[in-house]
Amino acid sequence: MMLDWLEQTISPPDASVRERALAHQAQLTKPAGALGRLEHVAVQLAAMQGCLRPEINRIHVSLFAGDHGIAAEGVSAFPQQVTVQMVKNFIDGGAAASVLSGFLNATLEVIDTGMATPVDDKRIIAASAGRGTANFLHQAAMNLQQLKQSLDTGRAAALRAKQSRSDLFIGGEMGIANTTSATALSCALLSCDTTQLTGAGTGLNTAQIQHKAALIEQALIHHRAMLHSPLNILQTVGGFEIAALTGAYISAASWQLPVLVDGFICTVAALLAIHINPGVKAWLLFSHCSDEQGHRYLLKVLNVKALLNLNMRLGEASGALSAVPLLQMACQLHNNMATFADAGISTE
């Protein structure tokens, strides 16, 4: 399938720059560790960018949209046509991701990875792998060619970010029923009970959440013979936009481009990317802990700490964009605070 790029060796962030950044932090006019995780993030970014003075000025946001056949089973509080309505909202500037991207002067691109109803608008990047995935309750969500195309779509987005000399890559998603797909993916990858990770998504009540969990369990049993590798799992119960996110994260890491991961669905894509290529993890920062039930569990499994916990569960890169000012402030503090020597302050 010509997917060798997924498993290529990924270089880690620059360890020597990390040590220099740590030494620099120790000389700033504050008690050691007094700025908490802002110090840690600045050092991480310095190592990722390979320079002692990291910057987050050029931000690239790729928002991948796709529909899911499993929506036919009543797993979302909203109808499938909301996907296309929200995509129009993204390009017209009315969505949360649009507002936050504008506020941060970030580049926002919207990519159709496979909506059930395509939108004829030149502001949308056309990369559709199909009119939505198949209903994975009955058959695999996508075929091998669709899987490859979706992964390649993510790779192309990361390449655009790299070629525009972005300091940070953010992936977002939109697709009614994609929390169902993301939950199925994480349950299959981690061998978890579906009730442990199945959440409210767009706002389901208790009975609807139980219905959603039961359907996911039924699908995983039906497909158990296929669920033997991350790519097989992604093909069987995944989504086009989740595959694109997975490809984007792997590619960004391979090109040494820092990634800020959004909420539950994006973290599932990150989990897939790490399972496919463990070298990806060192290039990921996790923006926030979503209110979606399974997200806290995934962050614990990955042994990572999110920067924020604001009870958000919107998706569409909104949580990641909300965390960008923290990264920028961490860089400003690291780069511009005086050292003890500069300020003539005694350390004895």
Q: What positions carry a catalytic annotation?
A: 316
Helix (H) or strand (E) holding 86: helix 81-92
Q: What are the phi and psi torsion angles at 35 (to 5°)?
A: -95, 10
Q: Estimate the share of the chain in helix, then strand, then coil, as percent rounded to the nearest 5.
A: 55, 10, 35
Instruction: Specify the 3-state DSSP secondary structure of 320.
Output: helix
The β-bridge partners of 60 are 107, 169
Q: How far apart are CA 40 and CA 4, in angstroms?
A: 33
Contacts of 234 (CB under 8 A, 6+ apart): 147, 185, 242, 243, 246, 272
Instruction: Specify the 3-state DSSP secondary structure of 261.
Output: strand
Dihedral angle of Cα 60, 289, 325, 303, to the nearest 10 degrees: -80
Dihedral angle of Cα 9, 14, 18, 19, to the nearest 10 degrees: 110
Is residue 53 exposed (0-12), middle (13-18) or buried (19+ Cβ within 10 Å)? middle
Sheet architecture: strand order including 124-126: 124-126, 107-114, 59-66, 168-174, 259-261, 284-286
The β-bridge partners of 62 are 109, 171
